[in-house]
Amino acid sequence: MSLNKEQQQQLLALAKSSIEHGLETDLPLPVNLEDFPPELREKRATFVTLEKHHHLRGCIGMLEAVRPLAEDIAENAFAAAFDDPRFPPLNIHELNDLEIHLSILSASEPMSFNSEQDLLSQLKPGIDGLIFQEGQRRGTFLPSVWEQLPEPKQFLRHLKQKAGFSPDYWSNTIQVFRYRVEAIG
């Protein structure tokens, strides 16, 4: 499902409003779903990425669709600005330098592979978002991460580390899921 330009702009404005509301109240913007078209009320999984001068400033999201799209954007924008443990909470002086990027995820699909090389050969750089999982450990990279890690082997090694494994880790019980995103902003 692709959103039209007006719907995309509505979501970007919502994300910014939720961050501004958070600066004033320490809470995400409450969303009245009746204010949004049906496409923005469907349950969708999203990530909100904040950048300042083209450097990561926060990124929070959900891998499963558990909330309506508009609500998920408002909640994740607030969380990216104030609750990403890698960064201090956003302050009002940073607001004008903030770039907001939204990623609306497709449902993830399990990948079948018989070796790490087989998995690597199936990856589509710049297109695939990946979830690497084994046991209780899980990590994901959005497709935009391919910009920094364009080689599949490098991408996978860093994703393993994000999930808490060594870059060379491999076992026969690893699960990998692929998803796509509609990128906005």
Q: Report phi then psi at 12, rounded to 5.
A: -65, -40
For the chain, domains (ranges, CATH) are 5-105 (3.30.700.20), 109-180 (3.30.1490.150)
Q: Which candidate, 180, 168, 161, 166, places its Cα nearest to that of 116? A: 168
Mean pLDDT for 127-148 is 95
pLDDT, tens digit, 9 for 90 and up, residues 26-47: 999 999 999 999 999 999 999 9
Q: Measured between alpha carbons, how far is 111 from 27 in angstroms, rounded to an integer? A: 38
- Give the pLDDT score at 2: 86
On whether the CB atoms of residues 181 and 1 are closer than 8 A, the answer is no
**Cα end-to-end distance, the chain, whole Å:** 17
pLDDT bracket for residue 118 (50, 70, 90): very high
**In 3-state terms, what secondary structure has residue 87?**
coil
The confidence score (pLDDT) of residue 21 equals: 98
Return the pLDDT at 43: 97
The pLDDT confidence band at residue 1, using thresholds 50, 70 and 90, is low
- Report the pLDDT averaged over residues 88-107: 96
Identify the band that residue 19 occupies on the pLDDT scale cut at 50, 70 and 90: very high
CA pair distance 167, 184, nearest whole angstrom: 31
Is 72 a residue whose pLDDT tops 70? yes
| Averaged pLDDT for residues 60-84 | 97
